[in-house]
Structure 1
Amino acid sequence: MEARDKEMPVAVKDNKVIEDWQSFSPEKKKELIERFKKFKALPDEERHRIKNNLHRYKEFSPGQRKKIKENFNKIRSLKPEERRRLHENYRKWQALASEEKKEILNNYARFKQMPAQERKRLLENKDKWQAMPSQEKERLKDGRSAKGRNK
């Protein structure tokens, strides 16, 4: 037994996924030991969250796991700014009330059902709206409300 094997994390010894620690290269063993040390250094709450996620991951079908890995790799390949923006948007999504999420998902489904030309026009209008000064937006909103009351 190699001296380094004595450092092998107990979790690795007990893990059925890794049946033969001896088959790993010294570099791979070192990497796993370092990962384990980092994991053990995490706060209990974070370690518990990771363990729960791993248990949930094991319950997925092989096809679902493949898709998860693909998505994970896509996220890892993003530039740091894109990844930060993605995480920020995810955080905002998580903070929404379930009714708001449903409304957004329904609107998205309606958008996807639109003909391509109509989707394009809607996106162009969205860009114009975002570029518009706030006062102009308010004026248009007020005009819409006044029209709605006159009907």
Structure 2
Amino acid sequence: MKGAPAILVGIAMALCLAPEAVVAGSPRAEAPRSRGVEPPAPQDQKRVRENRERWQQLPPEERQRVRENYERWQRLSPEEQSKLRERLNRWQQLRPEEKQTLRQRQDEFRNLSPEERQRVRESLQRWRALPPEDRHRIREGSRPPGMQGPRPPPPPPPPSRP
């Protein structure tokens, strides 16, 4: 896994585990009761058990990556966390072939030179600045009023960085 999806999955996994287990590095996903944390509800115990087993099977470097992602998550503002949750939700709704296409585009973007990446970002900013009706016309193949010259290439894929 690479990029934003990997980060989001790591965060999601970390959030399914007890925060103390992720941050402290404990292989157990149980929070100490002395801190006022209630044990999981009966309907959640199976999920917690499965996540604990997955955590224990992770190699140390992957656990460290999950911990770092969790710590990064904790530093995000509530608005940023909300945006990331929305992105994760949208990602989960994609079909496998759509996910594969996005991964390929992300890899292509990573392989661009810094100058090319900057051009792609600027193009994306111009695209996002267009009114929705102009974007719709462009997608449908007609030109917005007042635009002359050759047809611009389709908008580049957005960089996937949280």
TM-score, structure 2 normalization: 0.63
TM-score by length of 1: 0.67
Moved more, 133-142 or 55-64: 133-142
What amino acid is the match of 2:126? K
Bigger helix share:
1
Give the distance between the partners of 2:33 and 2:110, measured in 1 at CA.
48
Tell me the CA shift for residue 62 of structure 1: 1.7
SS of equivalent residue, structure 1 residue 39: coil
Q: Which has the larger radius of gyration?
A: 1
Q: Deviations over 1:93-128 (max 9, x none)?
A: 111100000000000101111111111111101111
Rounded Cα–Cα distance in structure 2 between residues aligned with 1:64 and 1:140 = 43
Equivalence for 1:56? 54
How many residue pairs get aligned? The number is 114
Instruction: Return the structure number with greater relative CO, CA threshold 8 A, min gap 6.
Output: 2
Correspondence 1:126 to 2:124? yes
Identify unmatched segments of 5+ residues in structure 1.
1-16, 19-27
What amino acid sits opposite 2:89 in the alignment?
Answer: R
Task: Provide structure 2 residue ranges, at least 5 long, that are not aligned to the other structure.
Answer: 1-26, 144-150, 152-162
Mapped to 1, the partners of 2:137 and 2:61 lie a distance apart of: 51
2-side partners of 1:98 and 1:30: how far apart? 43
Deviation string, structure 1 residues 14-66 (Cα, Å, up to 9, x no partner): xxx79xxxxxxxxx6622xx32xx224x251x221121111100001222211
Q: 1:63 to 1:138 in 2, by over 3 A?
A: closer
How far apart in 2 are the matches of 1:133 and 1:103?
26
Looking at structure 1, the residues matched to 67 and 136 of structure 2 have their Cα atoms a distance apart, in angstroms, of 45
Residues of 2 paired with 1:117 and 1:48: CA distance? 49
The separation in 1 between residues aligned to 2:55 and 2:97, in whole angstroms, is 28
Match of 1:66 in 2: 64
Give the whole-Å Cα distance in 2 for the aligned partners of 1:96 and 1:39: 33
For residues 1-151 of structure 1, the aligned pairs below 5 Å read 30-31=34-35, 34-35=36-37, 38-40=38-40, 42-44=41-43, 46-141=44-139, 142-143=141-142
Distance 1:55 1:48 in 2: 11
